[in-house]
Amino acid sequence: MWIAAASMGAWRVNHTATLLPSGNVLVAGGSYGSGSLATADLYDSGLGMWLPAASMAKARFLHTATLLPSGKALVVGGYGDGYATTEVYDPATGTWAAAAEMAIARGGHTATLIPSGKVLVVGGNASVGNAELYDESWGTWTWAATMATRLHHTATLLRSGSVLIAGGRDGAGGFLATAEVCDPASGTCNATGSMTAARAQHTATLLPSGKVLITGGIPVSATAEMYDPASGTWTRVPSMAVARYGHASTLLPSGKLLITGGTHLLTTELYDEVSGTWSTAESPAVARNAHAATLLPSGNVLVTGGYVGSP
């Protein structure tokens, strides 16, 4: 069942939500109306309330936030004032500090913590296809690999330690069905099987089996497909009940996948990998799009922000 939670201090969309080691959730940036935000909110999952948090130095949306091995959170790029800049949030002091800038300005990119403890940032630039690596121990960025130009794609860490990059938009604004597997250890991104449908602003989730489930996206679709890393191939699975983009997917402790919102939808759905079927879940009180969904230590899912509804 869904339970109303306390409201954030700001209404925001296309923000980030990062689960910190304390169990608190750091919500940062996003946009509201025609402006981008530098503000941040901190959700105390034990008390069920929001606490004030220091603002970032730069306003940004469609950025990324990644929990580092140190327990700090790295915020990268984004539209607004962000672009190539990066900042690090320290939960111990509640403060932000500027970090080294990337070589390339990015928004609508992805950031993935890889087994080495480095962060792989991919795409998000309409003119250059490449990836960069952030090393927290040195506080520096290095070139990672050359790849296809794409933004609004997905990046999924596979059990092998490689990262699956799927779909998105190319530099001309077209939709992509292509996919690549990036191996940070060798500094290569190699083409793998293409999806059955071109899509952007979809979701990608690593399932308990080690396969990756892709759902929805633009062009607006209810379709879903599964990537098998062992064969490098995609297989269609049953479609969702409703077409969605800008939705969120959260893997639950049960192993089922929860899909929330998208395209101003109130409905939610559950995917069961064991049976290969979708079922309708209880609807929340507020419809959302471009929101964030965070699995809390309690097993509950915190849903924040979005285009429709309230903070």
What does the pLDDT read at residue 310? 41
Could you tell me if 276 and 238 are in contact, meaning their C-beta atoms sit under 8 angstroms apart? Answer: yes
Rounded-to-integer distance, Cα 297 and Cα 22, Å? 9
Cβ atoms of 162 and 183 within 8 Å: the answer is: yes
Cα separation, 110 vs 122, whole angstroms = 5
CA–chain centroid gap for 183, Å, is 20
Q: Note the pLDDT of residue 113.
A: 98
Tell me if the bond preceding 219 is cis, omega within 30° of 0: yes
User: Alpha-carbon distance 133 to 167, whole Å?
Assistant: 21
- At 3 the pLDDT is 85
Asked if 29 and 59 touch (Cβ cutoff 8 Å), the reply is: yes
Among 244, 239, 216, 221, CA closest to 307: 244
pLDDT, residue 82, reads 63
3-state secondary structure the chain: CCCCCCCCCCCCECCEEEECCCCCEEEECCEECCEECCCEEEEECCCCEEEEECCCCCCEECCEEEECCCCCEEEECCEECCCCCEEEEECCCCEEEEECCCCCCCCCCEEEECCCCCEEEECCCCCCCEEEEEECCCCEEEEEEECCCCECCEEEECCCCCEEEECCECCCCCECCCEEEEECCCCEEEEECCCCCCCECCEEEECCCCCEEEECCECCECCEEEEECCCCEEEEECCCCCCECCCEEEECCCCCEEEECCCCECCEEEEECCCCEEEEECCCCCCECCCEEEECCCCCEEEECCCCCCC
Nearest residue to 121 via CA among 72, 189, 59 = 189
pLDDT of residue 127: 75
Question: Strand 292-295 relative to strand 301-304: parallel, antiparallel, unpaired?
Answer: antiparallel
Give this prediction's pTM. Answer: 0.96
Q: What is the pLDDT along the chain (311 residues), one digit of tens a residue?
A: 888 888 888 889 999 999 999 999 999 999 988 789 999 999 999 999 999 899 999 999 999 999 999 999 999 999 987 689 999 999 999 999 999 999 999 999 999 999 999 999 999 987 778 899 999 999 999 999 999 999 999 999 999 999 999 999 998 889 999 999 999 989 999 999 999 999 999 999 999 999 999 999 999 999 999 999 999 999 999 999 999 999 999 999 999 999 999 987 889 999 999 999 999 999 888 889 999 999 999 999 999 999 874 44
β-pair type (119-122, 130-135): antiparallel
Q: Domain residue spans in the chain? A: 10-101, 115-194, 201-227+236-305
Residue 131 phi, psi (nearest 5) = -135, 150
